[in-house]
């Protein structure tokens, strides 16, 4: 089967060929297969080899090591006794690091882990590496239930009680407890929070119900933000899944959501797996992924999925159905005429910067701006970007990172927004400290151009 699929993909335009190793590699008692590089003539050898390394990487530590970085794994015990693993970016063998004394905390989205921040083939198109080389102390967070956070001091992972959490628990425990740990470890008084998708919603919710976080978080930079998303692109699925939580629980149980994805990912030929992701995203959200190159999809989609609770997804459908960003509503909450408890987002006092794609079907920017405080919220549209494009698009440097660097500099100097030229200088300064020479940079450019999809009539799939 795999050989047949591989042959079909060789006949597509700009094929990327991978060879499945006959050897099996064991990691933590699990058997996995390793793909090797077989370069197509149009692809730069170094970039293709790095892509294969990222595709094969088992965890965030291996992914960082590919680029010359590493992570320190730290354990955060939440107040309700979950054990979260968070990571601090480091660079082995660095004699004396130039630090600016500022801390940045990254947090991922729904059904994801910290790995989504470090999947890019080009080193400094990974925002954590870029900020590290600009002198920031960079931390990556994880939600309870994902691959890095599957331990509780009392509840076994196979129990329903372990998976009995939603956005509420992320906001009440995971985010504030992780922030407190990071500030205690670094000795810093504040940090900047950079979230993606659900990671932004968790920050808004956490700060709104934990007023002390207004003194600990310098600002929230929200990439592809979410509070009350539009519904699914498929009207049938949208109506079905919003109609009753019991339908979702009946389909997926009351534990973890779609754990079989790991099995299918392991046995599928990677380009075919990427096509399945593209088809699913198109059906659910009308995303076409024109801005993510073939080469990049092989890296990023391999690290896209991680586990979460079914209850978290039910919570999102409740929010979508009510058009309010509220706490999870139990079936019993209708007794006595009670209503959903809405998160008091207007009480947030720190700067919020929204970076959203203009073609992102999930983001309802008008509703979001009406929910957040007017006086300290800005919104930056990114033309022709969808949800995932803002972290994995070939043009993230120009269209996303410049705004992030601008917000970081604003917070530091309390000055008007910097001109793009100044931001570019900061970016190029960081690039100069990395491993991308001008020659390699040009090669990357050629690879990106060769794998860009035509915007009008191009194929949706790989």
Q: What is the mean pLDDT of residues 205-222?
A: 97
Annotated catalytic residue: which of 53, 133, 137, 360?
A: 360
Confidence of residue 8 (pLDDT cuts 50, 70, 90): low
- Tell whether the model's pLDDT for residue 40 goes beyond 90: no
Q: Which of 113, 166, 197, 361 is catalytic?
A: 197
Higher pLDDT, 406 or 321: 406
pLDDT at residue 15 greater than cutoff 50: yes
Please provide the size of the chain in residues.
Answer: 462
Domain residues for 168?
59-262+304-451
Which of 23-37, 68-82, 333-347, 425-439 has maximum average pLDDT? 68-82
Is residue 107 over pLDDT 50?
yes
* Pair of tokens at residue 101: 């004394």
Q: What is the pLDDT of residue 425?
A: 59
> Known catalytic residue: 44?
no
276 within domain boundaries: no
* 284 occurs within a structural domain: no
- pLDDT over threshold 60, residue 172: yes
What's CA 113's distance to the chain center, in Å? 7
Point out the least confidently predicted range of 104-108, 288-292, 428-432, 436-440. Answer: 436-440
Task: Express each pLDDT in 147-168 by its tens digit.
Answer: 999 999 999 999 999 999 999 9
More confident residue, 336 or 114: 114
% pLDDT > 70, the chain: 74
* C-beta separation of 209 from 174 below 8 A: no
**Inter-residue contact 328 to 309 (CB < 8 Å):** no
Q: What is this structure's pTM?
A: 0.84
Tokens for 370?
């009406």
Residue 355 lies in a domain: yes
Nearest to 294 by CA among 362, 392, 197: 392
Token pair in block for residue 301: 């989609």
For 121-140, what is each residue's pLDDT tens digit?
999 999 999 999 999 999 99
Q: Is there a domain that residue 4 lies in?
A: no
The 10 Å Cβ neighbour count of residue 298 is: 24
Catalytic residue among 326, 387, 389, 426: 387
Tell me: the pLDDT tens digits for 386-445?
999 999 999 999 999 999 999 998 555 444 444 545 555 555 555 444 444 333 344 334
pLDDT band at 49 (very low <50, low <70, confident <90, very high): confident
387 is annotated as an active-site residue: yes
Q: What is the CATH number of the domain that holds 256?
A: 3.40.50.1820
Q: What is the pLDDT of residue 410?
A: 53
User: For residue 275, is it within any domain?
Assistant: no
pLDDT of residue 354: 98
Bigger pLDDT: 244 vs 153: 153
Across 145-184, b (16+ Cβ under 10 Å) vs e yields: bbbbbebbeebeeeeeebbebbbbbbbbbbbbbbbbbbbe
In 3D space, the residue among 109, 108, 63 whose CA is nearest the CA of residue 89 turns out to be: 63
Q: Is 294 domain-assigned?
A: no
> Does the structure show a pLDDT above 70 at 284?
yes
pLDDT at 267: 80
Known catalytic residue at 280:
no
Structural domain total, the chain: 1
**Tokens representing 324?**
């309010």
The pLDDT assigned to 426 comes to 57
User: Does residue 392 lie within any of the structural domains?
Assistant: yes
- Which pLDDT tens digit goes with each residue over 218-237? 999 999 999 987 766 566 56
HEC secondary structure over the chain:
CHHHHHHHHHCCCCCCEEEEEEEEEEECCEEEEEEEEECCCCCCHHHHHHHHHHHHCCCHHHHHHHCCCEEEEEEEECCCCEEEEEEEEECCCCCCCCCCCCEEEEECCCCCCHHHHHCCCCHHHCHHHHHHHCCCEEEECCCCCCCCCCEECCCCCCCCCCCCCCHHHHHHHHHHHHHHHHHHHHCCCCEEEEEECHHHHHHHHHHHHCCCHHHHEEEEEEECCCCCCCCCCCHHHHHHHHHCHHHHHHHHCCCECCCCHHHHHHHCCHHHHHHHHHHHHHHHHCCCCCCCCHHHHHHHHHHCCCCCEHHHHHHHHHHHHHCCCECCCCHHHHHHHCCCCECCHHHCCCCEEEEEECCCCCCCHHHHHHHCCHHHEEEEEECCCCCCHHHHCCCHHHHHHHHHHHHHHHHHHCCCCCCHHHHHHHHHHHHHCCCCCHHHHHHHHHHHHHHCCCCCCCCCCC
Give the chain's mean pLDDT: 82
Q: How would you class 113 by CB atoms within 10 Å of its CB: exposed for 0-12, middle for 13-18, buried for 19 or more? A: buried
301 vs 240 pLDDT, higher one? 301
Q: Is residue 33 part of a domain?
A: no
Q: At 4, is the pLDDT very low, low, confident or very high (cuts 50, 70, 90)?
A: low
Distance separating alpha carbons of residues 233 and 280, to the nearest angstrom: 11
207 neighbors 214 (Cβ within 8 angstroms): yes
- Is the pLDDT at 110 greater than 70? The verdict is yes
Considering Cα of 3, then 4, then 6, then 11, what sign does the dihedral take?
positive
Taking only the tens place, the pLDDT of each residue in 352-386 is 999 999 999 888 999 999 999 999 999 999 999 99
Q: Round to the nearest angstrom and report the end-to-end CA distance of the chain.
A: 18
């Amino acid at each position: 089967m795999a050989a047949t699929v591989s042959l079909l993909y060789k006949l597509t335009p700009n094929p990327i060929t991978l060879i499945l190793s006959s050897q099996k590699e064991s990691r933590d008692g699990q058997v996995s297969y390793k793909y090797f590089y077989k370069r197509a003539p149009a692809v730069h050898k170094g970039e293709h080899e790095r892509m294969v390394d990222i595709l094969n990487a088992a965890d965030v530590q291996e992914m960082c090591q590919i680029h010359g970085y590493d992570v320190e794994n730290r354990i955060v015990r939440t107040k309700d006794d979950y054990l979260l693993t968070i990571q601090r970016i480091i660079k082995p063998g660095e004699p004396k690091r130039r630090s600016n004394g500022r801390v940045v905390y990254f947090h991922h989205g729904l059904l994801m882990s910290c790995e989504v921040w470090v999947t890019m083939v080009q080193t400094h198109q990974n925002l954590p590496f870029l900020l590290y080389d600009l002198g920031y102390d960079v931390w990556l967070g994880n939600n309870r239930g994902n691959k890095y956070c599957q331990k509780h001091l009392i509840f076994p992972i196979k129990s329903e009680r372990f998976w009995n959490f939603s956005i509420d628990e992320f906001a009440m425990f995971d985010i504030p407890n992780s922030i407190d740990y990071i500030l205690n470890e670094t000795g810093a008084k504040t940090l900047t929070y950079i979230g993606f998708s659900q990671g932004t919603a968790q920050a808004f919710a956490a700060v709104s119900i934990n007023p002390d976080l207004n003194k600990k978080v310098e600002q929230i930079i929200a990439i592809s933000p979410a509070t009350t998303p539009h519904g699914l692109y498929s009207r049938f699925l949208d109506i079905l899944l919003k109609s009753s939580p019991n339908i979702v629980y009946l389909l997926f149980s009351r534990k973890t959501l779609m754990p079989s994805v790991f099995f299918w990912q392991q046995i599928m030929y990677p380009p075919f797996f990427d096509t399945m992701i593209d088809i699913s995203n198109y059906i659910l959200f009308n995303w076409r992924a024109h801005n993510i190159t073939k080469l990049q999809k092989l890296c990023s989609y391999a690290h896209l999925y991680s586990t979460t609770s079914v209850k978290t997804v039910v919570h999102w459908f409740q929010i979508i159905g009510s058009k309010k960003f509220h706490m999870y509503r139990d079936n019993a909450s209708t007794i006595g005429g009670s209503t959903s408890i809405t998160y008091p987002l207007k009480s947030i006092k720190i700067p919020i910067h929204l970076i959203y794609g203009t073609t992102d079907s999930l983001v309802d920017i008008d509703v979001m701006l009406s929910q957040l405080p007017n006086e300290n919220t800005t919104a930056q549209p990114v033309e022709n970007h969808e949800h995932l494009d803002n972290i994995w698009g070939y043009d993230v440097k120009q269209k996303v990172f410049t705004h992030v660097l601008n917000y970081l500099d604003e917070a530091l100097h309390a000055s008007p927004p910097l001109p793009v030229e100044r931001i570019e200088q900061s970016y190029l300064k960081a690039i100069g400290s990395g491993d991308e020479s001008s020659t390699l940079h040009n090669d990357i450019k050629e690879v990106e151009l060769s794998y860009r999809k035509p915007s009008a009539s191009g194929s949706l799939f790989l």
